[in-house]
């Protein structure tokens, strides 16, 4: 990686990431290059002083990674009704730059963690009822290693490395603050469990077997996950979800919930995916 970054410094960072992916055959099951993950790794290696990347190119039309929420927005009229009155719910993928910017703005403005660029594969959704937006969802690549989750599955280190992409992580779940509908969150989770596997397979070439999420127990009780039949499996150790080397600063300890998408999900996740 250091050699490629040096020898191809005249290229942009994205082109360098694509080149490395091609050399290492770092691909998704669908055959597409994992250039997004590679770029994030390169940026992390540069921050640690391992290599140097060319200066970022600021091309016309490309905005900042963090959304500007300095401008005040008027909140819509409150949505207050029984959950059944919101049906049918529609889960629609975020498409296009305008829609993407608006989704990111809502998450940055109203989610306590804000809107950060997700690591690896991801899908973003609007949850709508009769064209009215009720919630925002983000599904991402799974946490690299979580002791409680891995013990529940029965994973060895080898098994985890082989089958980790059978899991998808619920990275953001935001019910918009003017939406006050009891029981809506668990209905959204149930709808997601039905639709996400197909969408993920269409985009990335493999069908997930298990969903996971992390809940900050100091803020939330995980009620909607429990109501949607997610399984509590333990807590994190307080490191970041992608901290492979155990060097990251401490994070809040979080509750871990999982949701099997297939019967015998644990057995499938411990097996050989090539068989």
Evaluate whether 124 touches 138 at the Cβ level (below 8 Å): yes
What is d(CA 14, CA 37) in angstroms, rounded to the nearest whole number?
Answer: 11
Bridge-partner residues for 255, per DSSP?
215, 235
Q: Go through 244-274 and write b for each residue having 16 or more CB atoms within 10 A of its CB, e for each that does not.
A: eeeeeeeeeebbbbbbbbeeebeebbbeeee
Question: What per-residue confidence (pLDDT) applies to 116?
Answer: 84
Cα torsion 31, 126, 100, 131: sign: positive
- Give domain limits for the chain: 2-47, 79-270
Question: What per-residue confidence (pLDDT) applies to 74?
Answer: 74
Q: What angle do CA 220, 168, 235 make, to 5 degrees?
A: 40
Question: What per-residue confidence (pLDDT) applies to 64?
Answer: 42
Evaluate whether 148 touches 255 at the Cβ level (below 8 Å): no
The secondary structure of residue 227, as a DSSP letter, is H
Question: According to CATH, what is the number of the domain 79-270?
Answer: 3.40.630.30
Question: What per-residue confidence (pLDDT) applies to 144?
Answer: 87
Question: What per-residue confidence (pLDDT) applies to 190?
Answer: 96
What is d(CA 99, CA 103) in angstroms, rounded to the nearest whole number?
Answer: 6
Question: What per-residue confidence (pLDDT) applies to 71?
Answer: 67
> Token pair 């490629």 is at which residue?
4
Reported in sequence order, the residue ranges of the chain that DSSP labels E, i.e. its strands, are 79-80, 89-93, 122-129, 132-140, 167-175, 179-180, 210-216, 231-235, 254-260
Q: What is the mean pLDDT of each run of 10 residues along the chain (275 residues)?
A: 83 85 82 83 89 70 54 80 93 93 94 84 94 95 93 94 94 96 96 97 93 94 96 85 49 92 95 68
Q: Go through 144-166 and write b for each residue having 16 or more CB atoms within 10 A of its CB, e for each that does not.
A: ebbebbbebbebeeebbebbbbb
In this prediction the pTM is: 0.77
């Amino acid at each position: 990686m250091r050699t490629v970054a040096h020898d191809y410094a005249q290229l942009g960072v994205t082109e360098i990431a694509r080149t490395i992916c091609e050399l290492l055959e770092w691909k998704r099951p669908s055959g597409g290059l994992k250039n997004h993950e590679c770029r994030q790794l390169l940026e992390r290696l540069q921050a640690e002083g391992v290599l140097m990347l060319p200066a970022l190119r600021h091309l016309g039309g490309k905005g900042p990674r963090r959304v500007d929420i300095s401008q005040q927005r008027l909140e819509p009229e409150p949505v207050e009704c029984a959950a059944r009155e919101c049906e049918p719910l529609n889960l629609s993928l975020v498409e296009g730059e305008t829609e993407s910017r608006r989704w990111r703005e809502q998450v940055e403005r109203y989610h306590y963690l804000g809107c950060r660029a997700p690591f690896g594969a991801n899908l973003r959704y609007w949850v709508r009822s009769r064209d009215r937006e009720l919630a925002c969802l983000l599904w991402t690549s799974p946490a690299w290693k979580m002791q409680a989750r891995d013990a529940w599955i029965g994973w060895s280190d080898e098994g985890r490395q082989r089958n980790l992409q059978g899991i998808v992580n619920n990275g953001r779940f935001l019910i918009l603050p003017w939406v006050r509908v009891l029981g809506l969150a668990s209905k959204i989770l149930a709808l997601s469990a039905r639709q996400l596997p197909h969408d993920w397979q269409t985009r990335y070439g493999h069908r997930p077997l298990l969903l996971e999420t992390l809940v900050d127990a100091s803020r939330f009780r995980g009620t909607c996950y429990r109501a949607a039949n997610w399984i509590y499996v333990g807590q994190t150790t307080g490191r970041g979800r992608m901290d492979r080397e155990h060097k990251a600063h401490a994070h809040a300890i979080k509750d871990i919930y999982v949701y099997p998408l297939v019967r015998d999900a644990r057995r499938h996740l411990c097996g050989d995916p090539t068989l």
